[in-house]
Amino acid sequence: MPTFDGNNYEYWSIMMKTMFMYQDVWEVIENGFPEPTNATTLNALSNAQRNLLKENKIKSTKVLNLIFLGVEPSIFPRIQGYTRVKPTWDMLETVYQGLAKVKIAKLQSLRRYFETL
């Protein structure tokens, strides 16, 4: 399993995404899943909906565990308080890959620098 140390986020995320797709849990990260907000909503679920919720919670916990195992101890404090997988993955992506606008700006800056050489 690849371990993320704060460098080469793109490589690590591709390797992890491939592993999650292989284990058929990527949709939990990509889309998340709705959880009942209170006991009334939970009680109103059918048996099939309860089973799906339980399956999604198991998948989410499995993925969260793999993410925790896949980061160095220096990165772990940033994610240790997360209990849901989608916000955890999104936070890592935002912090280490950067927002799309920031990434585009960096690439444009590098291109200008290259052209001036």
Q: Is residue 16 part of a domain?
A: yes
The CB density around residue 29, as the number of other CB atoms within 10 Å, is: 21
Q: Is residue 90 part of a domain?
A: yes
Domain that holds residue 71: 9-116
The predicted structure's pLDDT at residue 67: 95
List, for residues 33-55, the tens digit of each pLDDT value: 888 888 888 888 888 888 888 99
Could you say which residues of the chain have pLDDT below 70?
Answer: 99-100
Q: Is residue 31 part of a domain?
A: yes
Number of domains making up the chain = 1
